[in-house]
Amino acid sequence: MDFLFNPEQVALKQKVIALCEEKLAPLEKKVGESNVMSREIADVLAESGLFKLFVPAQYGNTTPMPSLVSVCLVREELARRCPNAELIFVMQGLGSYPIVITGSPELQAKYCPLIASGEKIFTLCLTEPNAGSDVGALETTAVKDGDRWILNGQKIFTSLSPDADIYTVFAKTDPDQGTRGISAFVVEKGWQGFDPGKRMDLMAAHPIGAPVFTDCAVPQENMVGELNSGFKTVMRNLDFFRSTVGAASVGMAQAGLDEAVAYAKKRRQFGKSIGEFQGIQFKLADMATELAASRALVFRAAAIKDQGAERITLESSMAKLYATEAAWRIIDEAVQIHGGYGVIKGCHVERLYREIRALRVYEGTSEIQRLVIGNMLLRD
C-alpha cells in the first residue's frame, strides 16, 4: 500500500519498524504476555514522539489534526511486531480523542501536552456490565452538585485499567433521555471516590480492569464537550478508531502469514517441504489475498477520513468487519499449517490465535458492524 502514502508517512512506517527492532522488541521479550502495562514500553513510545499523532498541530503534531492513515500505519506495524506497545499506543489515542475533538480550549491546553509527551497514559471508560453495544443503557450517573459533578457507577473491560493515569468516562447526566442524556468527563487516577478497579484475566493476556465510581467528584471544567453530547462524541471516537482495529488485525494477520510461509518452506514431509504441496499453496494464496483486501479496506477508510470526510461510519465498519474476520481465518490457517506445533504454548501462531479473537468483539462486534452497514445501505 506504499503507493497510497506520502513521503512523511512512508518515513513514519520505517521509523516504527526500526523502533520495534531496536528498542521495543527486547522489551516485548522481557514483558512477554502480561496483564500489567509496561511503563518501560510506554516511555519508549513517548520518547519516539508517536503520541504526538493524537493531538492537534499546536501541541506537536505535524498535521492540523490526527491523521487516520498515520495512526493505522503505526498500529499495523506495532501489532505485527510488538503487541504490548500496540495496545498502549492505541489507548493513548482512544482515551484522549474525545478531548481533542470536543474538549474546551482550556481542557485541551491542560491535557494535550500530557497526551503528546506521554507523561500521562490515557484510556477510555465506556463499557459497563449491562451496557456494551447498547451505549444508551449506561447506568453510571453524573449528578450536578454546584460547580462539580458526582459520578457513581461500575465500568468493565477498560483497557489499561488500573495502570492508566487519565480516564475519559461516559455517564448519564439525564437518565430519562437514553442516548441523548450522556455526557463525558475526564477523571484522574487518585481522585477521591474513583477506584480503577481489579484486573481481569482474558484468554490472551491484556491489561484490563473494572473501574468503580463512588461519589467521585469531577470539576465542571472536566466535562468534555457540551452537556448531554456524549453519545455523539463516543460515536465519533469509535468512527475514527474502528478503522485502526482493522489495521491491528492486518498487522497480526501479516505476522501469521509470515510465520506460515516460513514454516511451509522449512517443514519437510514425504521427502519435500510442505510448501510444495498444492493444498498448502492454496491456503497461503487465500491468506495473502484476504490480507491484501483487508489492508485495502482499512486504508480506504483512513484516506477518506484524512481527505476531509466528517464521518466514515460505513467505511470504518466495513474495514473493521472484514479485516478482523479475515485475520481470524488467516491465523487459524497459520495454526493449521503448523500442525501440532501450532498449538504448543510458546509458538507464535498459538499466541496470535488467542490474541486475534478479541478484535472481533471490541469496539462493536462483527454482528453490530453488519447492522451498521445494512442500516446505512437502506437509508434513503
Q: Cα–Cα distance between 372 and 268 in angstroms, integer?
A: 46
Q: Roughly what angle, to the nearest 10 degrees, separates helices 278-306 and 230-266? A: 150
Q: Cα–Cα distance between 135 and 125 in angstroms, integer?
A: 12
> What stretches of the chain adopt beta strand conformation (E)?
122-125, 141-145, 148-154, 158-159, 166-172, 182-188, 194-199, 208-219, 223-224, 268-269, 272-273
Contact, 125 vs 161, CB < 8 A? yes
Task: Out of 8, 47, 363, 367, pick the active-site residue.
Answer: 363
DSSP codes joined into one string, 130-164:
TBSS-GGG---EEEEETTEEEEEEE---EETTTT-
Contact, 135 vs 234, CB < 8 A? yes
Cell, residue 214: 463512588
Please confirm, yes or no, whether 363 is among the known catalytic residues. Answer: yes
List the catalytic residues. 363
